Amino acid sequence: MNAAVRRPYHQLEIRRIAGSLGAEVFNVDLSSGFSDDVMAEIRQALLDNLVIFFRDQTITPAEQVAFARRWGDIHYFPLSAGLDGFPEILEVKKTPEEEKNVGNYWHTDQMFTPKPAMVTILYARQVPSYGGDTMFSNQYMAYDALSDGMKTMLATLKTVSSSTHLKRGADGKDEYHSGGTSIKVQAPVNTQMTSAHPVIRTHPETGRRALFMGGHVHNFEGMTEAESKPLIDYLMSHSTRAEATCRFRWQPGSMAIWDNRCTQHLALNDYPTETRIMHRITVAGDAPFFR
């Protein structure tokens, strides 16, 4: 738990999985109409642990959408269509024929939008018999571990993130390349979302400062990519050190919920002969700020 007082949970059982971040949550069926008190504890568990995991959940797309709406407004993925009948859900799929997977780099979701996603809710529909884990890193820890001099320098900087990975597919259709497999998109080929955000952001609920970095970052505002690269490389390495991470092994029916305001994540690509199908919903966030 993050330098915070350990809170009692009256409705849920919380079991931490690592010293840095991450906890499994028990005693709740996410497909049911559980009480607001239970929802408040789920939300508090996320604030305390940054990423939370649920096992053995049987949930329909409609139920996943209903659960996501209890967190806030849906953040629709700007570059691709959702499932038929459920535009809120993006299907993230890799088959044995595909060499790459989506999200195989450290990042935080939708960083190239003016108001990046607050939380991501990922549900396992089909998982490989081995591999396919997701890793998470604690960006509070990344900030806290910086020297005072580095904190002072970064306090005035903004990063520029962009969706320049949107390319024209071989069949003439647009594709979203997220470090992995292609997802067909609705957006026109010239769609590009670019946003500048503080490299240090203040979490609007906890008031804590976190490093706000990820694989979408191209440069610092007012600097070239060449000038920015050495510091970006350092901050990415610093923010994803092993001691600041946890790793989650998926099972059918597992769900992960992570706070994009204070974490990064990476989907491992180590299941070349297997299929992995996940249903993802992102919840709308606010414009990052620093104070």
| Residues with a known catalytic role | 107, 109, 265, 280
Residue 226 three-state SS? helix
Tell me how far apart the alpha carbons of residues 243 and 241 are, in angstroms, rounded to a whole number. Answer: 6
Q: Among positive and negative, which fits the CA dihedral 67, 77, 248, 210?
A: negative
Residue 72 contacts residue 283 (beta carbons within 8 Å): yes
Give, in degrees to the nearest 5, the angle at Cα 74 between 73 and 76: 145
Radius of gyration (Cα) for the chain, nearest Å? 18
Strand order in the sheet with 276-283: 13-16, 23-26, 51-54, 255-259, 119-126, 276-283, 90-94
Closest by CA position to 102, among listed 84, 75, 120: 120
